[in-house]
Structure formats: C-alpha cells, structure tokens
Amino acid sequence: MKSLKVHYFQHIENEGLGSCEAYLIQHYHADITTTAFYALPPKIELGLNALPAIEDVDLLIVMGGTMSANDTNRYAWLHAEITWIRQYILSGKPVIGLCLGAQLIARALDAKVFKNPEKERGWREVYATQPITSTHFHIPPVITVLEWHSETFELPKHAIQLAKNDVCHNQIFQYQHNVIGFQFHPEVTIKTLTMFFETLIEDINNYQGPFVAPIADTLNAPPEQYHAGQNLLNQAIDYVIKHRH
C-alpha cells in the first residue's frame, strides 16, 4: 500500500495527533509531518510558500489551541494558515478540524467565529442532528466526548450540521464530503489530557462556569471513556479519505 502523506497544523507544544496517529500508521502507512505554528514568533508574517505544497498533502488535520481563530493581530501567521486551509479545501482534498481546527476551517470558509455563551470543559454529551439514513457522515445518536472551548462558529455556507448539544449549537459539521470539523477533542488520550492540565495553566484559570467540570472529575474518567470519540475520529478519517477528489 502506498503511504498516505498526512500533515497536521500544531498550535500547542507537545500536542501531537493523539489517538489517531497510531490508526493512521497502522491503516494507511502514514508518513506524518507537521507545521509547528506555536514555535513561530507571533508577529511573523508567513508566505504560503513557507507551508507545504498542497499536492504534497493527502490528509490535513488542524489541531486545537488556546488562541482564537480571530487572533490575527496577535498571531500574524494565522493569515497564511487560514488562506492555505481555504485553498486546500477548494482542491477537494480531505481535512479534519479539531476544536480550534474546526473554527479555523469555518473561518477559511468565510464563516464567523465568536464567543460561545458558556465555556465548556469536561466530558459532555453531544447529539446527532442528521438521520441515520442520511448520506452524510454518520454520528451516533448520543456520544460522550471531551470538550474544552470558549468559542464557537457559525455553520459555513453549504455546510451541514451533524451534532449539537445544549451548550454549543455546532458540535460537528461537514462541508461537502471532504471536510469534517469537531468542536470537541475526539483525539484526546489520557496522556494528552494530562498534558493539557499540566501545561495550559493560564487557559485553565480563565475557565469558569456551570459547564466547566472539576479537573479531578475530568481526569478520573475510566479509559473506556475515551474510546467513543477516538473511534468516531477514525471513522471520520476513513470517510474523508474515501470521498477525496
């Protein structure tokens, strides 16, 4: 089997692909590369030639981060990242967005990103909004996933909402058949979640509200708690790869 060239955009130090890395290697013999935006000086203006050639990427995964998709004044490189994502999507190639990654995809598709009425952090249920018989990517009727976000996005034009919950209206969306965005973190593992809580101190201190679970409760979830999101992410990867142009 020819190896799949997977590239991911990374916004937090130590945040790799999480659970889907092993899946990509095992099932697609993935050759994985990354752009480490977190390591760049915030004010640096990137040219698109500083990012991979679109023809050299078979699957793009846009990771989460503590910044806003609107923080282009603070992080000048966001301009190039959003522009590149737009061009990549229009090429018909597959892309998955995780949390901030979904918001950046929404921005790339000219949709607005804004503060959610409430912050969400911890294990929470999301609910499918499309029937099982739908021709779109299939979501279980109810799934418990790891949330960690203060912002949300409007649904891009021509995109389809796949899941929501009572706190955040757009939890999963699909654009055409090559783009799926998750507002939550399906890729999270015990290791990555522990890393988040050990390193994102400023972000943690800014999270308060009725839908922000205690840290201990979130970390004490049993290992099988992670599997539903991880399996859904693997299925989403299969779906967008199957439907690539």
CATH number where 52 lies: 3.40.50.880
Q: What is the pLDDT of residues 87-103, one digit of tens each?
A: 999 999 999 999 999 99
Query: Do 74 and 40 form a contact (C-beta atoms < 8 A)?
Result: no
Alpha helices in 64-168 (DSSP H): 78-90, 100-108
Query: Do 183 and 171 form a contact (C-beta atoms < 8 A)?
Result: yes
Average pLDDT over residues 117-127: 97
State the residue range of the domain holding 97: 5-242
- The number of folded domains in the chain is 1
Going from the C-alpha of 86 to that of each of 33, 100, 108, 200, the distances in angstroms are 19, 15, 5, 29
Structure tokens given for 83: 């522009």
**Burial degree of 109 (CB within 10 A; 0-12, 13-18, 19+):** buried
Q: What is the pLDDT of residues 187-217, one digit of tens each?
A: 999 999 999 999 988 888 889 999 999 999 9
Residue 15 half-sphere exposure, CB side, CA atoms within 13 Å? Answer: 30
Average confidence score pLDDT of the chain: 95
Residue 38 half-sphere exposure, CB side, CA atoms within 13 Å? Answer: 16
Q: What is the pLDDT of residues 52-85, one digit of tens each?
A: 999 999 999 999 999 999 999 999 999 999 999 9
The continuous run of DSSP H or E covering 137 comes out as none
With bands split at pLDDT 50, 70 and 90, how would you rate the model's confidence at 245? low
CA-based radius of gyration for the chain: 17
